[in-house]
Amino acid sequence: MVGGVHWITQAALGAIIGEMMMGRKLGKLALVWGALFGLVPELFELLVSPFLDTARELACGRGLGHSLIITGLGAWWAARGLEKVWKREKVSRSEAAFFVLAVWWAHVLVDGFTVEGVSFLWPVPGGRVAFGILHRTDFWFSGPLVVTAVWLACLPMEKPGKKRGRKTAPAPASKRRKLLAWGLGLSAGYALLAAGMQWRASAGFEADLARRGTKWVRRMESPTPFNIFLWRSVLDRGDEFQVGYRSVFEPADHPVRWTIYQKSTEAMAGVAELREMKTLAAATQGWWIARPHAKGAWIGDLRLPEARTWGSKKGMVDSRLASSWVVDATTKEDRLRRITPSAGTGGDYLERLLGRIFNNRDNWEANPRLAGVAGSLPEFLPVVE
């Protein structure tokens, strides 16, 4: 579902930019062209992925099709062909190039709002930018874009056409412009609100850590799925990570309950020098934990909110990391294998998530266990109350 929502969002955003920039010359086809180019960064990486092993695919993810260098060259190349395709509409090469760049860079910007971020400077190492203000599935951000794109597709264009001897009533130009402004404005406003909510949540985490006198190396905050009101903070404390949740509606003096995840770097000693492990460490920006595995090591990414399930054992909550891999040192083929987390009880999770937003901690907090580690039983996790 996550991938589908992301693709729909980017197609809708591209369609809106197409209407805004090329609607007068291309008519409703501007929506189609915009939606198509809005998906190109993902399509490009998808088409290349069958020729790459898992580690190289991970290194190219949100990099190969999102790089300023690649998008710049791609826009220049695409504009040469579009100039010929749109010759009758009198679209110049520079107009076509600017249109393609605008759609692609809007795509890159939106991807940069998430914790995964984008590698703006790919293939140059590093340079991944992640603002972490939106979860990758947020219908409140995507909704206005999708509704606007569909509405624009249904509205008649400015030029009246003939149908069975009658003239169809044209939609006033101002109506299309107002619709564009509303759609983009609502989503942009929501993103700004998300940045404000992140600042508020971050201040709450900061105050809690200051009261405790907790020292940390670095810290990141990101929203939980489908909302911008319940935030998750991850502390890097050298040998361990601490994960805590905080609602923007909580009083400033409410303590945060921190769950401790040991990094266990010794578990990846046998695979530390492998290319796959180095790629994984770079792709996760160092926010990873390791656990022993019979064939090498299990590696989990702590940047994304973990899937939480209740009821497998009384008084326990099982946390399964959204992204994890097994680094297999026993094979000479693809040494990196992605682990797909088992689906939890979605309705139960959403109900508890909503309750936690409004400060109902009892249904959210429990004694935590790290589950879903390939080849291992659930691990009990210590907490700091």
Among the residue ranges 18-27, 118-127, 138-147, 162-171, the one predicted with the least confidence is: 162-171
pLDDT bin (cut points 50, 70, 90) of residue 385 is confident
Closest C-alpha among 338, 342, 217 to residue 285 = 217
pLDDT above 70 as % of the chain: 94
Q: Is the pLDDT of residue 218 over 90?
A: yes
Instruction: Specify the pLDDT at position 183.
Output: 96
| pLDDT per position as a tens digit, 332-372 | 899 999 998 765 556 788 999 999 999 888 889 889 999 99
Average pLDDT over residues 131-148: 95
User: Residue 312 is encoded by which pair of tokens?
Assistant: 């497998």
Q: Is the pLDDT of residue 170 over 70?
A: no
Instruction: Specify the pLDDT at position 19.
Output: 95
**Whether 268 contacts 277, CB under 8 Å:** yes
The residue type found at 373 is V
pLDDT above 90 as % of the chain: 76
Q: Which residues of 281-305 are buried (b: 16+ CB within 10 A; e: fewer)?
A: bebbbebbbbbbbebbbbbbbbbbb
The residue type found at 7 is W
Burial class of residue 260, CB neighbours in 10 A (0-12, 13-18, 19+): middle
pLDDT bin (cut points 50, 70, 90) of residue 375 is confident
pLDDT bin (cut points 50, 70, 90) of residue 311 is confident
Closest C-alpha among 233, 235, 222, 220 to residue 194 = 222
pLDDT bin (cut points 50, 70, 90) of residue 173 is low
| pLDDT per position as a tens digit, 88-125 | 999 999 999 999 999 999 999 999 999 999 998 888 87
Instruction: Specify the pLDDT at position 21.
Output: 95
pLDDT bin (cut points 50, 70, 90) of residue 169 is low
Burial class of residue 264, CB neighbours in 10 A (0-12, 13-18, 19+): middle
pLDDT bin (cut points 50, 70, 90) of residue 318 is very high
pLDDT bin (cut points 50, 70, 90) of residue 157 is confident
Round the average pLDDT of the chain to a whole number and report it: 91
| pLDDT per position as a tens digit, 52-96 | 999 999 999 898 989 988 899 999 999 999 999 999 999 999 999
Average pLDDT over residues 377-385: 93
Average pLDDT over residues 146-156: 94
